[in-house]
Structure 1
Amino acid sequence: MQIEILKSKVHRVVVTEANLNYVGSLTLDEDLMDAANMIENEKITVVNANNGERLETYLIKGQRGSGVCCLNGPAARKGMAGDTVVVISYASMDFEEAKKFKPTVVFPKEGNKL
């Protein structure tokens, strides 16, 4: 049996901008992506702690070291600069393997830095 479990999480990253005139997705600082074991185009869930909104989208690499966290396209309607969000990715794996799996969780500091 395969189940979906938490693979990675960037916990409480601050949105730096919202760009409605973009095709879609979430742009995230590449340093945060690497630390959380996430890759470009990976499916993610974004949970906004300020307004309770949840959305599914995919990741785009942001400039390394920039601290960028940008809601793009329709996602820009789900939050604004200054909001705190959690970026979550999941993995499908065998039930027994999942029992032993340890997710990667990143807690950014001020300025969305590691």
Structure 2
Amino acid sequence: MIQIIRAKLHGMRVTDANLEYQGSITLDPELCERVGIYPLEFVDIWNKSNGARIQTYVILGEPGSRCCVLNGSAARHCQPGDKIIIAAREYVTRAELHDIKPKVLTFTKDNEIDQELYYDVYATEDREFNFRIMNGDNVVDFRESARKTAT
């Protein structure tokens, strides 16, 4: 078995940090449903603003709020306005890699969905494993995608 990314919220802005709460990250359930992240699921959080990398579990906030609230000790690593990546993982076999299509949402500065993408692992005659980012039926240029998410 290998561990892969299963779902990703890329470039969300932290809307609040609540040190006194017991722990977790509070997310808008509409966004979680769209990408396939579940309540109580452990997720990785990578802070693009300060480089912190932490893990916590998901609780659901108000639908439509676009909230992204770090709670408990996680609040020490992420502050309002920080740009973060939230990733869920899954164990799969090598054979399953071709069938899994991890969903990725990218965001505007107001946590509105900017792009709905997915990752695609595919085989060719020359290579068993190839990778591309897809937007619907269109291949996304890696460099263009990186420039867009840097803003």
TM-score (ref. length: structure 1)? 0.94
Unaligned runs of 5+ in 1: none
Letter in 1 for 2:60: K
RMSD: 1.0
Q: Hey, what does 1:49 align to over in structure 2?
A: 48
Question: Which of the two has higher C-alpha Rg?
Answer: 2
Please name the residue that 1:67 is paired with: 66
SS in 2 for 1:66: coil
Between 12-21 and 29-38, report the one with greater CA deviation. 29-38
Identity of aligned residues (%): 36
Which protein, 1 or 2, shows the higher relative CO under an 8 Å CA cutoff with sep ≥ 6? Answer: 1
Partner of 2:82: 83
Deviations 1:56-107 (A, max 9, x none): 1110001110010000000000010000000000111122102331111011
Q: Answer yes or no: is 1:101 the counterpart of 2:100.
A: yes
User: Which contiguous aligned blocks of 4+ residues in structure 1 show a shift greater than 3 angstroms?
Assistant: none
C-alpha distance in 2 between matches for 1:64 and 1:35: 12
Alpha-carbon shift at residue 108 of structure 1 (Å): 2.1
Deviation at 1:45, TM superposition (A): 0.2
Which amino acid in the other structure matches residue 99 of structure 1? H
How many residue pairs align between the two structures? 113
- Which deviations, in whole Å up to 9, do the C-alpha atoms of 1:14-45 show, x marking residues without a partner? 00000000000100111111111111001100
Contact 1:65–1:113 (8 Å) recurs in 2: no
Segments of structure 2 that go 5 or more residues without pairing to the other structure are 114-151
TM-score normalised by length of structure 2: 0.72
Which amino acid is 1:32 matched to?
Answer: L
The one-letter amino acid paired with 2:38 is I
Cross-structure match for 1:6: 5
